[in-house]
Structure 1
Amino acid sequence: MLLLGCASKPGREVDPRDPLEPFNRATFRFNMDFDKAFVQPVARGYRKVTPEPVDRGITNFFNNLADVTSAVNNVLQFKMSRAGSDVGRLFINSTVGVLGFVDVATNVGLPSYKEDFGQTLGYWGLEPGAYLVTPFLGPSTMRDAIGMGGDIVMDPLVNLKKHQVHWGLVGVRVIDRRADLLTTTEIVEEASIDLYSFVRDAYLQRRQTLVHDGNPPRDASQPDFWDEVEF
């Protein structure tokens, strides 16, 4: 009943957060078709042939790389304790954790924050702007689209000189992440009447929560139970 109440109905007024809705819906349909035709089959094959411990190790490896970007963004937000945690995680997991394949840092009490440049821009007061669905990359906002450029510059994979290695690792990261979300995708598709609105609302509320470190200002016009949804 909650899901039905959140679904958008055809012919309703345009959401002020989403003035680009016609373009976004077209891009969303393209992304969904591309995902079902190409990405999902590869992700399902990857999950089928990859043993669970290996899959978890690959996910840990890329999460370890993401701690580099997170540490930089925590410094930019003057969250020094969080930046220290990110640096500690990076050091421990890259050494004792064998290049990050084993997440030792979590077991010793160092939490993972995964800050990005879009969150940094939000921390310093830049409004999210219009909701935007980007081709291939999916949900975003004007602010997060700008932030994506900063994240790309800070991505450790960018510094790899061999293009074959760089794009190979990027491809593995995309497929590994998509494989981890296969079950979530199936649940969302079955539960929602308007998948586009479902994803948009979940994304916007999740980003709002991340920018405010789990304590966002409440908007009485919007449901608040998506704060715990991971996308």
Structure 2
Amino acid sequence: MANPFLLATALLVVAGNALAAETAPRASVIEADPQVTQAPLTPEADGFIDPLRELKFNPGLDQREFERSTLEALNVYDPLESVNRRIYHFNYRLDQWVLLPLVSGYQYVTPSFVRTGVSNFFNNLGDVPNLFNSVLQLKAKRSAEITARLMFNTIIGVGGLWDPATSMGLPRQSEDFGQTLGFYGVPEGPYLMLPVLGPSNLRDTTGLVVDYAGEQAVNYLNVAEASENHPEIFALRVVDKRYTTKFRYGQLNSPFEYEKVRYVYTQARKLQIAE
């Protein structure tokens, strides 16, 4: 009877020779074909290999087609686009020549704690329409939180100059009548670019009017009535609003900034309504 170990060894030798005979011609073909052979990538000075340096771009790519497809993805219902673009340009110049210089002067003449107190005060006033719309949207928990914020910030925070509610776990939550209309299924309507105020749509513009009227009717802390006799209060609120708004025209550094702002605003409002 044959030794099993010797038999297995013989089979391995035969298989190895057959495999070598099969692969040897292929290797010679590959080595002989310069189109298949690729030089190994050599490391850069920092020791890393940069595979992108071998990347070849298609010179026949139609850039205009690429831009067109990108803009279609950012499409928003904007039948008044020509007018909206003019208003967008007006807002850009107004921001550059008037509002931002005012903000810079405001920052120069007031210390940071004063600016924080002013922002807290106007945010406290803004919690009144926040509460109103939260109740209309049947958000019981959020309504209770906003009510608690108003009480703590008005009483403990000296009329809202200080914001103890946030440190107590009650952060500010924004609700407006535009969101309320969206909550009940009212469509957004055409996109609008409002003078000074910026991006909006027909539904949200209606919401702005209702929120403003409600704030005037409530006259919380008598600020609405006082603003009629002291327009500087309204002016301070405008400057504070621009001071706390981080957006800057031209910051996207894109010729399609109008389209991008329009798209981002529209999607952001959808997310706010869905909360």
**Given the superposition, is the C-alpha separation of residues 185 and 133 from structure 1 closer, same or farther in structure 2, using an over 3 Å criterion?**
same
Compared CA separation, residues 16 and 98, structure 1 to 2 (3 A)? closer
Partner residue of 2:261?
Answer: 199
Q: 1:185 aligns with which of 238, 248, 266?
A: 248
Rounded Cα–Cα distance in structure 2 between residues aligned with 1:16 and 1:178: 26
CA distance in structure 1 between the partners assigned to 2:91 and 2:188 by the alignment: 22
Report Cα offsets for 1:6-54 as digits up to 9, x if no partner: xx76xx6793422211111011111111221211111111012221111
Secondary structure in 2 aligned to 1:139? strand
Contact map agreement 1:65 1:156 (CA 8 A) in 2: no
Q: 8 Å contact 2:91–2:198 — kept in the other structure?
A: yes
> In the alignment, does 2:131 pair up with 1:68?
no
Q: CA deviation at 1:191?
A: 3.5
Report if aligned partners of 1:73, 1:116 keep a CA contact under 8 Å in 2.
yes
Of the candidates 207, 211, 214, which is equivalent to residue 147 of structure 1? Answer: 207
SS at match of 1:155: helix
Aligned pairs for 1:66-215 (under 5 A) are 66-156=126-216, 159=219, 160-162=224-226, 163-165=228-230, 167-181=231-245, 184-185=247-248, 189-213=251-275
CA distance in 2, matches of 1:98, 1:157: 22
Secondary structure at 1:53 match in 2? helix
Q: What letter matches 1:24 in structure 2?
A: N
What code does the residue aligned with 1:23 have? V
Give the C-alpha shift of residue 82 in structure 1: 0.7
Q: In the TM superposition, what is the alpha-carbon distance from 1:148 to its structure 2 partner?
A: 0.9
Matches of 2:274 and 2:216 in 1, distance apart? 26
RCO (CA 8 Å, sep 6+): is it higher in 1 or 2? 1
Cα pair 2:76 2:262 within 8 Å, conserved? no
Q: Matches of 1:158 and 1:40 in 2, distance apart? A: 31
Q: Which residue of 1 aligns with 2:105?
A: 45
Closer/same/farther in 2, CA of residues 190 and 75 from structure 1, 3 Å limit: closer
Q: How far 1:156 moved relative to its partner?
A: 5.0
Alignment coverage as a number of residue pairs:
202
In 2: Cα distance, 1:149 partner to 1:91 partner? 26
CA distance in 1, matches of 2:180, 2:118: 27
- Map of 1:9-24 to 2, 5 A cutoff? 15-24=75-84
Q: Whose Rg is larger?
A: 2
> Considering only aligned residues, what root-mean-square deviation do their CA atoms show, in Å?
2.2
Deviation at 1:212, TM superposition (A): 0.8
Residues 63 and 118 of structure 1, relative CA distance in 2, 3 Å threshold: same
SS of aligned partner of 2:179: helix
Is residue 152–residue 158 contact of structure 1 (8 Å, CA) maintained in 2?
A: no
Q: What TM-score results when the alignment is normalised by the length of structure 2?
A: 0.68
CA distance in 2: counterparts of 1:34 and 1:106, whole angstroms = 34
**SS state at 1:177 partner:** helix
One-letter code aligned to 2:248: T
5+ residue gaps, structure 1, are: 1-7, 214-231
The percent of aligned pairs where both chains have the same amino acid is 39
Corresponding residue SS for 2:138: coil
